[in-house]
Amino acid sequence: MDTVTSGSMVAPARNAFREQQWREAHERYLVCARTVFAELGYHAATVADIVAAANGSRATFYAHFRDKADVAACLFERTLPAAAGIYRRVAELAVPTREAVRAWLDEHALGFWLRYGVEVEAVNHAMAADPGVAARHYQWVLDAARELSPHLAAWTGPHAEVGLTRASLLVLQLERLCYHWLVRGVAHDREQMLDILADLWFRELALLREGPPR
């Protein structure tokens, strides 16, 4: 009995160690991929560059990722908790004022694209070339839109999908603008853009709270 008990205790520990090794290797490749993408750009970077930066092997890389597009997608997925937190903040505004919405955009939303520009740039290139990554990206947009659920309470039953689509378009609009503006560097006047975005979001959030037309 003692032998069986001892063996059953050792196996989970060994599995846990292997799982930790896997997570550490996965994270190392993601960190190194971010560095490589930042230095070389997504298109110029290769799997060999990422492997070399991680001091690893191709076999280990492909045990974790399908290809360069997959590693870009996984890299972006690490930002999703932060992205969800952004939309959760505006969802917590029970009755948003235009001023509160503008402050949210200025303090939280725009900062996300500035902080995660490397990840955003990489995933945009990846999804342009890989339909699978594009599908994953659209699911991320839907998940972000669902964070606005307090404003979607009136969109129930057959109207639920319409409400979610409206919220998703709002998220997509902000994402596309910030990508071209804050990541790609298309020049815009910040204060003017904040005013425009605040008007759009304030108006749309009010329409979402009103629910479907009767």
Whether residues 116 and 22 share a domain: the answer is no
Quick check: is 71 in a domain? no
What is the average pLDDT across 59-77?
A: 96
The pLDDT tens digits for 85-132 are 999 999 998 889 999 999 999 999 999 999 999 999 999 999 999 999
Q: What is the mean predicted confidence (pLDDT) over 69-90?
A: 95
Together in a domain, 34 and 139: no
172's tokens: 């997509």
Q: Is the Cβ–Cβ distance between 78 and 119 less than 8 Å?
A: yes
Encoded tokens for 195 = 């005013």
Residues 48 and 82 in one domain: no
Query: What is the domain-level CATH number for residue 29?
Result: 1.10.10
Shared-domain flag, residues 109 and 39 = no
Q: Could you tell me the sign of the dihedral formed by the alpha carbons of 17, 19, 22, 24, in that order?
A: negative
- Name the residue with tokens 């200025």: 106
198 occurs within a structural domain? yes
**Tokens 């699978």 sit on residue:** 132
**Using the 8-state DSSP alphabet, how is residue 144 labeled?**
H
Could you tell me the CATH number of the domain that includes residue 187? 1.10.357
How far is the first Cα of the chain from the last one, in angstroms, to the nearest whole number? 71
> In this structure, are 194 and 98 located in the same domain?
yes
Question: pLDDT at position 3, please?
Answer: 42
Give the pLDDT score at 213: 87
Domain assignment of residue 53, given as a range: 2-65
Query: What is the spatial distance between Cα 20 and Cα 16, in angstroms, rounded to a whole number?
Result: 6
105 is a domain residue: yes
Residues 201 and 122 in one domain: yes
According to the model, what pLDDT value does residue 100 have?
96
Q: What is the DSSP letter of 201?
A: H
Which of 35, 65, 95 is the last residue in one of the domains?
65
Mean pLDDT of 154-172: 96
Quote the pLDDT of residue 17: 79
Indicate whether 119 and 145 sit together in one domain.
yes
The two tokens of residue 202 are 């304030």
Distance separating alpha carbons of residues 151 and 58, to the nearest angstrom: 47
Inside any domain, residue 70 = no
The verdict on 113 and 16 lying in the same domain is no
- In this prediction, residue 15 carries a pLDDT of 87
- Establish if 56 belongs to a structural domain: yes
Q: Is it the case that residue 155 has pLDDT exceeding 60?
A: yes
Structure confidence by residue, pLDDT tens digits, 6-59: 344 444 555 887 888 889 999 999 999 999 999 999 999 999 999 999 999 999
Residue 107 to residue 84: CA distance in whole angstroms = 15
CB 175 within 8 A of CB 140: no
Average of per-residue pLDDT across 150-175: 96
Q: What is the mean pLDDT of residues 62-72?
A: 96
The burial of 94, by beta-carbon neighbours within 10 Å (0-12 exposed, 13-18 middle, 19 or more buried), is given as exposed
99 and 205: one domain?
A: yes
**Number of folded domains in the chain?**
2
Q: When comparing pLDDT for 21 and 190, which is higher?
A: 190
Same domain, 119 and 199: yes
